[in-house]
Chains A and B, each alone.
Chain A
Amino acid sequence: MFDTSHILAVNIPVGDHITRSGFNLDTIYTTLVACGIVLGTGFYMARRATAGVPSKLQLIWEMVVGTIQDQVATALGPKYRRVVPLAVAIFMLILVADWIEILPGLFHNTDYAPSPTADVNLTYALAIVVFVLTNAASIRARGLGGYFKHFFRKPVAMFPLHIIEEIAKPLTLALRLFGNLFSGGIMIALLISFIPRFWAASIIFTPVWKLFDMFIGAIQAFIFALLTILYYQFAIETDGH
């Protein structure tokens, strides 16, 4: 029989980062790689963008931009075209950041590169930006008085919940994304830790899990971008809902 004590003794780093002076260097490094990929492909594609037959890269970008443009136009109207870059940046950055996880890693004692989205620092940063911008849009649409008044909308007794709801929005945005990617990373670490004893299972299931994680990553990127647009919609609605 297998010696299970060895498996139980595996040390999977949970929430560990390579930190110097309060900076998670691994997260910063993978974030910069993700930003570089997004902006690099963006610039590369923009320079060659054509109104004729588009390249595959242009087609992917156009699909993302077109979908988000339609979504923004439907939910917010043409006045809020400026939300498009924000939503596109959120989607592309989260997508690339999530998919970095499939690359073999360099920093940990396990063979995977952690997604920057598996660190709350990035997800909080994204959520804070969304929170600030949606509330600013709400104040602009309702006026300062209207903004505060809408927390006391009917039923008035529910106003603590309305405030909690407002705080919960960015928190859930950040933690949903973080939780999905964080747990995905732990799964990969776990599968890799199987190698000494169950190398066959590891070889089979690691790629399967990484593919599934890519799917989750795409879904999470989509959800974050979609919810950003929806929160904008809630923020500018003036009928009290």
Chain B
Amino acid sequence: MLVASSNFLVPNSTFIVELVAFLIVVFILGRYILPRIQAPMEQRQATIRQALADAEEAKRRAAEAEEEYKRIVGEARTQARRVVEEANKMAEQARAERRQQAEQEYERIVSTAGVEVEAQSRRAQEELRKQAADLAIAVAEKVLGEGIDRGAQASFINRTIDQVAASSGVATENA
């Protein structure tokens, strides 16, 4: 073994060894090692691409779902508003009907009461007239001292009472 110090820019037999070693490295790398690096790299890239596409799809679906949700909420709001409006309308209608019924009832009661009052008034007048006639006849009998033909005088008395009633403003339709 010797330490050579010839011109270091000139290659020697080592060149052949270096060349062969390098070519072997290129061959083994290209044949056995790189394919086993490139395959997982491509696979991972495909996975990442897929994941990104999936994420995009999920985002799109979420956006769609939100749109749908907004639409449904909007519809529900419109529907609710309509329901409330209808309910208000119905309530208004019911109130108007009740009011009308009450008014009719009132009218009916008032008119019934009027008829009753009239009838009672008429009965009272009849009674009064009868009693007045009897009283007048009794008074006349006392004054004249003898009997009076009740039948003959009755129409006269009644006419008189009617006249009195008419002059005092009392309604005497039946006279």
Q: Which residues of A contact B5 (CB under 8 A)?
A: 13-16
Which of the residues B14, B18, B28, B29 comes within 8 Å of A22, measured between beta carbons? Answer: B14
A25 to B12, CA, bound (A): 11
- For the residues of B in contact with A, the DSSP-based class is helix
Q: Which residues of B contact A14 (CB under 8 A)?
A: 5, 8
Q: Which residues of A contact B18 (CB under 8 A)?
A: 27-28, 31, 116, 119, 121-122, 124-125
Which of the residues B1, B14, B33, B39 comes within 8 Å of A28, measured between beta carbons? Answer: B14
What is the 8 Å Cβ interface bit string for chain B, positions 22-35, against chain A (1 contact, 0 not)? 11111011101110
Q: Is B143 an interface residue (CB 8 A)?
A: no
Which residues A65-106 have CB closer than 8 A to chain B? Answer: 65-66, 69, 82, 84-86, 88-89, 92-93
Residues of B within 8 A of A (CB): 1-15, 17-19, 21-26, 28-30, 32-34, 36-41, 43-44, 47
A124 to B14, CA, bound (A): 11
B4, B19, B25 interface centre (most CB from chain A within 10 Å): B25
Contact A121 B14 (CB under 8 A): yes
| A20 and B8 contact, Cβ closer than 8 Å, known pairs A61-B37, A89-B25 | no
Contact B21 A121 (CB under 8 A): no
Sort A-B residue pairs by CB-CB distance and give the 4 closest, nearest first. Answer: A15-B8, A85-B30, A22-B13, A51-B43
- For the residues of A in contact with B, the DSSP-based class is helix
Contact A31 B29 (CB under 8 A): no
Chain A interface extent, by class: 35 or more
Residues of A within 8 A of B (CB): 13-25, 27-28, 31-32, 35, 38-39, 42-43, 45-47, 49-52, 54, 58, 61-62, 65-66, 69, 82, 84-86, 88-89, 92-93, 116, 119-122, 124-126, 128-129, 175, 182
Contact B41 A62 (CB under 8 A): yes
Look across to chain A and name the residue whose beta carbon is closest to the beta carbon of B15.
A121
Q: Which residues of A contact B4 (CB under 8 A)?
A: 16-17, 19, 24
A46 to B17, CA, bound (A): 26
A92 to B9, CA, bound (A): 24
A119 to B15, CA, bound (A): 9
| A49 and B36 contact, Cβ closer than 8 Å, known pairs A89-B22, A121-B14, A122-B18 | yes
Look across to chain B and name the residue whose beta carbon is closest to the beta carbon of A21.
B13
Contact A35 B8 (CB under 8 A): no
A42 to B41, CA, bound (A): 15
